[in-house]
Structure 1
C-alpha cells in the first residue's frame, strides 16, 4: 500500500538518488579502477594472485549476497517503517572504511601481506553489497509509477558519472608523478577523502528520498520462502537478459577502468591523457541526458538500448581490428563508443525495476530485496570476470609487477590487445542479453503496467471493503 502521509514524488527524491549513487561510487569506482594497480605496483603482488583473489571473493559472494539481499524481505528493523533505509545506515561506514584500507601501504610481507589484501577486499565487497542492494531495491518503494522510476534510474546514472568525471578524473594527476610513477600515500589520502564524501552522500540520500510504498508485516507466522524467489528468477526471462547484458557492461566499466591505466602508462606512455578523457566525456553525458528519455518515450527502452549498443559495437571493433598508434585517435574512438554505453548506464536501472514488476505480473512474487541482490550479484560477476581477465591476462602476456620495472615489447603490445578486446566482448554480451533474451518491448511493457495498475486498484478496493 502507498503511504499517503508523506510528500508526493518529486525532484527531492531524484536529487537524493543522485547522492545515493555518488555515495557508493566514491568507493566502488575508486576500488574497481585502482585496487589492482595499487596491489601490483605498490605492494608488489603478482597479477595472477590478484586474479585468484577476485575469483575466490566472488565464490564467497555467491553465498553472501543472496543472504544479505534477503534481509530486508525477512526483517524490518528500526521504528521508521522503512524497509531499506536502515540497512544502508548499518553498512555505509564499513564501506567507507574499507575504501581506505584497500589503499593503505601496510608494512607486511609474504603471507601476512596477502592475507591483508584478501581481508580488505572481502570487507569491501560485503560492505558494498550491504549498501548497494538496499539502495537499488529502494526505487521500487519510492514510487510505483514507471515514469518516476525511469527518473530515478537516470538520476543514479548521473551520480556515478559525476564521481567518475569530477573525482576519479583527478586520480592520475594526483597519484602519478611526471614520469607516470605511482605515489602510494596519495592513494591513501584519496581513500580517506572519498570515504568521508561517501558517508555525507549516503546521509543526503536518506534525508531526501522517501519510501512511500509500505509492505504489511506477514501474519499467521508466514515465513519468507527464498525458494519461491529463486523459482521466479529462473522463469523471469527479461531479468536473465538484463543480467547477461549487465555482465557485459561491467566488463566495460570495471575492465576498461582497471587496464586503461596500463595502456596509457605502458603503451602510450601518457597518463595525463586520462584526465582529459574523463572531462571529454562530459559533453556525451550532456547530450544523452535529454536525448535518451525522448527516445525511450518514442521507441521504448529496448529499442533505444539496442540502437546504442550497435553504435558502440561499431566503434569498439575498429581499434581492436586496426592498431591505433596515436593516443588522440584512440581516445576519440573510445569516446564515440562511450555514447552507446552511456545510454545503457542511464536505462539499466529502469529495466531492473521493470523486471521486478514482471515477476509480480507473471508469478505474483514480489521480493524486491532478494531479487535485486541476485541482479547485483550479476554485476559483481561481471566485475570479477573483468578483473580476472585483466589480472590473468597481464600474467599471460608477461607483465611484471613492481615499481620501476620496464615491460617487454610483447607485454606492452599484449596490453593493447587486452584493452581493445574487452569492449568488443561487452557489446556481444549486451546484444545477446537485450537483443535476444530480454522480451519487454514498448507495447508489452505498457501492457504489463496496465495490468498491474488494475490489479493494485482492485487490491485497494478489497482492503477498503474489509
Structure 2
C-alpha cells in the first residue's frame, strides 16, 4: 500500500518553501537583475532591426555587428574565470553594466552619423549583456550556497527552478516590448522613414536599454548581497560545515 500523504504537512512544506524564497534577499535580487538584463537585451536586439535598416540605411551592417557581438562573447568567455577569481563575479557584472550605460548614453548624446561609429557604441552596450550572461549561472551557485547557510538546507533544485521560471516570465512579459516601444514613437509602415519617427527609434534604442543597465548595476551594487568577500567567506563556512576543513 502507498503511504497516505498528510495534506497539512504538504501545506506546511509549501509554505516554508515560499517563505524561504520571499525572504531570500540574494535570490530575489538576482531574479530582479536577470529581468532587467532581459529588458536591456531584448530592447537592444529588437530595436537594432529598425536602427540599422531605417535610421542608418545599412541593413548589411546589422549582420556584421551580430558577428562582432558573438566574437566579444567568446573573448569574455576566455577571460571570465580569471577575472572572476581576482575581482569577483558580482563586481565585474556591475562594472560591465555601467560601461554599457556609458556607451549607450554616449551614443544618445553623440548621435553618430556613421554607422560604424554606432557599432562601436553598440559593442560597449553589449558588454553588459555578455558579462552578466557569462556569470549569471555562477551567481546562482553563490545564491544556493548562501541559501544553505541561511536556511540550513541545500535547495539547488528550488533555487534553479524559481530563477528559471522567473526568467521565462520575464521573456514572456517583454515579448511584445519592441512593438510597444515603436508604437510610442508613432512608427508604422507609412511613417517608417519620417525624420521625427527615425529620431524616436534611435532615442528608444539607446535610452531604454541604458535605463535597464543602470538599474541592473544598481540592483547588484545595492541589493544583491554576495560580493567577493562574502562569497569567499561562505565557501569556507560550507567547507567547515561539511567537514572539509
Residue 412 of structure 1 aligns with which residue? Answer: 198
Which one of the candidate residues 144, 147, 150 is aligned to 1:359?
A: 147
Counterpart contact for 1:255–1:383, Cα < 8 Å: no
Q: Deviations over 1:75-119 (max 9, x none)?
A: xxxxxxxxxxxxxxxxxxxxxxxxxxxxxxxxxxxxxxxxxxxxx
Instruction: Report the equivalent of 2:220.
Output: 434
- Measure the CA separation in 1 of the matches of 2:65 and 2:34: 23
Counterpart-to-counterpart distance in 2, 1:428 and 1:383: 19
Correspondence list, 1:15-414, <5 A = 223=10, 225-384=13-172, 386-400=174-188, 405=190, 407=192, 408-414=194-200
> What CA distance in whole angstroms lies between the structure 1 residues aligned with 2:5 and 2:186?
63
Residue 96 of structure 1 is matched in structure 2 by none
Residue 450 in structure 1 maps to residue 236 in structure 2: yes
> Could you tell me how far apart the structure 2 residues matched to 1:389 and 1:254 are?
8
RMSD, matched Cα:
2.6
Q: Aligned partners of 2:172 and 2:44: how far apart in 1? A: 13
Q: 1:423 aligns with which of 209, 215, 235?
A: 209
Q: Counterparts of 1:448 and 1:236 in 2: how far apart (Å)?
A: 15
Contact 2:97 2:213 in 1 (8 A): yes
Q: TM-score, normalised by structure 2?
A: 0.85
SS at match of 2:242: helix
Counterpart secondary structure, 1:281: helix
SS of equivalent residue, structure 2 residue 19: helix
> Relative contact order: is structure 1 or structure 2 higher (C-alpha 8 Å, sep ≥ 6)?
2
Deviation at 1:365, TM superposition (A): 4.3
Q: Flag structure 2 segments of 5+ consecutive residues without an equivalent.
A: none
Matched pairs, number = 238
Q: Deviations over 1:119-170 (max 9, x none)?
A: xxxxxxxxxxxxxxxxxxxxxxxxxxxxxxxxxxxxxxxxxxxxxxxxxxxx
Q: Do the aligned partners of 1:264 and 1:274 also contact (CA within 8 Å) in 2?
A: yes
Unaligned runs of 5+ in 1: 1-218, 459-466
Are the aligned partners of 1:312 and 1:336 in contact in 2 as well (CA < 8 Å)?
A: yes
Alignment partner, residue 131 of structure 1? none
Q: Is the 8 A contact 2:39 2:174 kept in 1?
A: yes
The question of whether the paired residues in 2 share the 8 Å contact of 1:320 and 1:421 is answered with yes
